[in-house]
A and B are shown apart, each in its own frame.
Chain A
Amino acid sequence: MRTRGDLATGYLFVLPVVVSLAVFLIGPILYALYISFHHFSFLAPDQATFAGLDNYLKLFKDPRFIRALGNTSLYSLGVVPIQIAIALMLALIVDAKIKGKTLFRVVYFLPTVTSTVAVSVMFMYLFKNDGLVNFVLSKLSIPTFDWFNSLTFALPAVMMMAIWTTVGQFMVIYLAGLQDIPQELYEAAEVDGATPWQRLRFITWPMLKPTTFFILIMSIIGTFQVFDQMYVISKGEGGPQDRTLTVVFYLYRAAFKDFDMGYASAMAFALFLIILLLTIIQRKFFKEETN
């Protein structure tokens, strides 16, 4: 379909977006690439010197970066599967014929609309040494911890918080996926005498595969870019012995505290490559599974 003046209209419609993308994304991406190959400080941009691969090689030798990457991976490994399992379970529950399902949908979704800064403050209060969590644990004769100041439990506490916050959003996406499964499949299975477990295993789960793939990617990207919670909880420091220091957090500090922007940019590209690689692996894995 074509109308008169379409060419001009087309360009006019995309013009704002093209300008904005060029100025605030594409230009900066190229500039970041340039910076990552230089010793570059914001304070003295004129004195930038070519660094070759120095910034990238430094990543492999910097124990703090390795610690940050380890924390981030551990965080992702812990959060992603639990998050997806709970989200799927909740979606199946609120999709079933139960009383008050709208109410439960709304309640489960509440943490998603709350700012991570607010959630962090709430959880610091719950998990403080003489807080509610420890109070309940001690009543049940379970040992208590000073969660956010503990070497072992600081990261798991943040993980619990992340799961609590984001499960609602993934539940809603699963809910949408469930609506797209043709009802006839279930009816046919019923005729064949399939048990509820078999229906879940052989209809719901395979039919939800694209949804699960989407959620998995979103969840991995989200967990690998985690920053807000860690920053708020550790007062911008990184927690006890850097136990809650993440890649983005370390990058932020390298750039805006140490002003080592070349190194920080190299870190950003390393993160990009890691996310890209994980996405490609997931994609391959899911394609082979469906074939």
Chain B
Amino acid sequence: MKKLWRVLFYTVVIGYAVLTMIPFLWSILTSLKSTPDMDKFWVPLSSLTLENYTYIVTKFPFFKWLLNSAIVAGSVTLGNLFFNTLAGYALARIKFPGRGLIFYVVLGVMMVPGQVVMIPVYIMLANWGWINTYQGFIIPFLTSSFGIFMMRQFFLALPVDLEEAALIDGLSRWGIFFRIALPLAKPALAAQTIFMFLGNWNSFMWPSLLASSDDMYTLPVGLNSFHWQYVAYWNQDLAGTMFMTIPMLLVFLIFQRWFIKGIATSGLK
């Protein structure tokens, strides 16, 4: 009986792992097939080729899209780390009139779906001439109510003693923030980096709304437009898909310990 359970258990564990991996492996395999072999299920390993990858990066601005994605996701992540942490700290630790109000506003706007502001923000950015520009992709997204809330909760949970001791030693508030609080906030900062970078790297709706020429596309927008031009050539289509997916998978595999821990420690509190 116990043995039966173990077999069943491992069947589920491995079975779901296989289900998870098949779409990746099958896509990678197809992306390595030459066009005449494209529709064959099995091809000899020796006939696999990288020609689809060289073709798509020479014919389409995939590297430009990669660069755009890196610039946008990178700047947005940095901005959020800086601004949300400052605000989260102030809301948790510094007493000033209006603090409660600001906190409730942050909490309130967290509930409003992004689609509500999509139209007004689009109109505003259009009036400013910010459509199809980096500033249009970056500046509206530099802070996030979720990030502020997360950082406030984190600092509230942190014991205040260390900061009080620093105060007695004559450190200013700036000194306390940068030299005491910030180093202690590393796990929360790591989690925030992951959320923000992942969310922005993969974001599709906003960039497809705000990018109007293909040299300003981010990778998801570029891939979508590429896909519909190349829908008959699945090998090239999937090479494009893997071009965008594999770097993220590698980043994840390198940092997976922090990834999973970061989400686990801050997903809830």
Whether A265 and B116, one on each chain, are in contact in the complex, defined by CB atoms closer than 8 angstroms, is: yes
Measured CB to CB, the closest approach of chain B to A20, in angstroms, equals: 4
User: What is the CA–CA distance of A179 and B27 in the complex, to the nearest angstrom?
Assistant: 36
Contact partner, A93, options B12, B114, B220, B253, Cβ 8 Å: B12
Within 8 A of B (CB), among A228-279: 228, 231-232, 235, 248, 251-252, 255-256, 261, 264-265, 268-269, 271-272, 275-276, 279
Whether A272 and B252, one on each chain, are in contact in the complex, defined by CB atoms closer than 8 angstroms, is: no
- The contact size tier of chain A is 35 or more
- Chain A residues near B167: list those with CB within 8 A: 1, 3
Whether A109 and B9, one on each chain, are in contact in the complex, defined by CB atoms closer than 8 angstroms, is: no
B186 at the interface (CB under 8 A from A): no
Contact partner, B87, options A4, A6, A13, A175, Cβ 8 Å: A13
> What is the chain A residue whose CB lies nearest that of B90?
A13
- A-B contacts, CB under 8 A, total: 267
Given A10-B94, A32-B117, A265-B116, A3–B172 Cβ distance below 8 Å?
A: yes
Q: Pick the most buried of B9, B224, B240, B244: most chain A CB atoms within 10 A of its CB.
A: B224
Measured CB to CB, the closest approach of chain A to B193, in angstroms, equals: 13
Whether A122 and B24, one on each chain, are in contact in the complex, defined by CB atoms closer than 8 angstroms, is: yes
- Chain A residues near B154: list those with CB within 8 A: none
Residues of chain A having any CB pair with chain B under 8 Å:
1-7, 9-11, 13-14, 16-18, 20-21, 24-29, 31-32, 35, 42, 45, 86, 89-90, 93, 98, 104-111, 113-119, 121-123, 125-126, 130, 132, 135, 164, 168-169, 172-173, 175-177, 179, 210-211, 214, 221, 225, 227-228, 231-232, 235, 248, 251-252, 255-256, 261, 264-265, 268-269, 271-272, 275-276, 279
Residues of chain B having any CB pair with chain A under 8 Å:
9-10, 12-13, 16-17, 19-24, 26-27, 30, 39, 41, 83-84, 86-87, 89-91, 93-96, 99, 102, 105-106, 109, 111-124, 126, 140-143, 145, 148, 160, 163-164, 167, 172-174, 176-177, 198, 201-202, 204-205, 209, 219-221, 223-224, 227-228, 234, 237-238, 240-241, 244-245, 248-249, 251-253, 256, 259-260, 263-265, 267-268
Among all A-B residue pairs, the 3 with the closest Cβ atoms: A13-B90, A28-B120, A10-B96
28 contacts between A and B (CB under 8 A): A1-B163, A6-B96, A6-B173, A9-B90, A10-B95, A10-B96, A14-B102, A16-B142, A29-B112, A93-B13, A98-B10, A105-B260, A106-B253, A106-B260, A111-B23, A117-B202, A121-B240, A122-B26, A173-B267, A176-B268, A177-B268, A225-B114, A227-B205, A248-B113, A252-B118, A264-B119, A265-B119, A272-B111
